[in-house]
Amino acid sequence: MSTPQGWEEIRAEVLRRISRRDWPPGAIIPTEEQLAAEFGCARATVNRALRELAGAGVLERRRKAGTRVAMYPARRATFEIPVIRLEVEGRGQRHSFRLLEQAEAVPPLAVAARLGLAPGARLLEVRTLHFADGKPFLYEDRWLNPAVLPEGLPPDMQATSLNEWLVKTVAYTYGDIAFSAESATPDEAALLGVAPGAALFVTERTTWAGDQPITSVRLAYAPGYRLRTVV
């Protein structure tokens, strides 16, 4: 490459210099202005490239102090939070689900705490079993804040999964996610058709719209599930 053109090529060139250890971890790299002069482009173009790399965790930038290679240039990876139906269909399988329970109840303390609600507040619990090609795929246990449902639940809970309806109806502005591995309880094992104690991939998500809690959900995937992404 002669001189990089466009912010993507500049990003690639900077990354190359880092992996060649021209700029080792911790080193300060030239200022935007210097790089712009070297590459023969505007400072804004260099800024765009360096900003992306800082967002990926490769660089650390501070005003006045300059830009340095991160001491541990570990990258940030991103993954999608899919709608369950699309996740199943994306594997080339047919999605279906069965509504197990739908009832108003007082949630466990952990759920109330995660949502920032007073203990004893009543929520709506919806438990659903999802299938891929008719075989159990994941068990969804969802606690829902009724206050965010002005028109109540969707008209036809048998046709559209709550998961999908929520995503399209109540956009959230903030959420947290945790992944873990758990041993299947006897109940979960029976639902998913596996041996008790089997290793299940579990994701727990809690979402808010502004400062109002929407829902806290626990998804337990049948064994064999893998969450993939690239860096």
Partner DNA sequence: GGGGTTATTATGTGCAGACATAATACACAA
Partner DNA sequence: TTGTGTATTATGTCTGCACATAATAACCCC
The number of CA neighbours under 13 Å toward the Cβ of 62 is: 5
Task: Pick between residue 64 and residue 76 the one whose CB is nearest to its own copies.
Answer: 76
Cα 220 from Cα 184, distance rounded (Å): 9
SS3 143: strand
Task: Pick between residue 46 and residue 112 the one whose CB is nearest to DNA.
Answer: 46
Interface segment toward its own copies; rule CB under 8 A; list 81-89, 90-98, 135-143, 185-193: 81-89
The residue assigned the tokens 């705490």 is: 113
Element (H, E) at 85: helix 84-90
Q: Return the one option of DNA, its own copies, none that residue 228 interacts with (CB less than 5 to 8 A, by type).
A: its own copies
Concatenated DSSP letters of 148-165: G-TT-S-S-TTTS-HHHH
Interface segment toward DNA; rule CB under 7 A; list 59-67, 70-78, 193-201, 218-226: 59-67
Interface segment toward its own copies; rule CB under 8 A; list 28-36, 76-84, 95-103, 114-122: 76-84
Cα 60 from Cα 120, distance rounded (Å): 45
* Residue span 14-33 as binding mask against its own copies, x where in contact by CB under 8 A, dash where not: -x--xx-x--xx--------
Cα 71 from Cα 207, distance rounded (Å): 33
Tell me if 65 contacts DNA by CB under 7 A. Answer: yes
Residues that bind DNA (CB under 7 A): 5-8, 31-33, 40-45, 47-48, 50-51, 54, 61-67
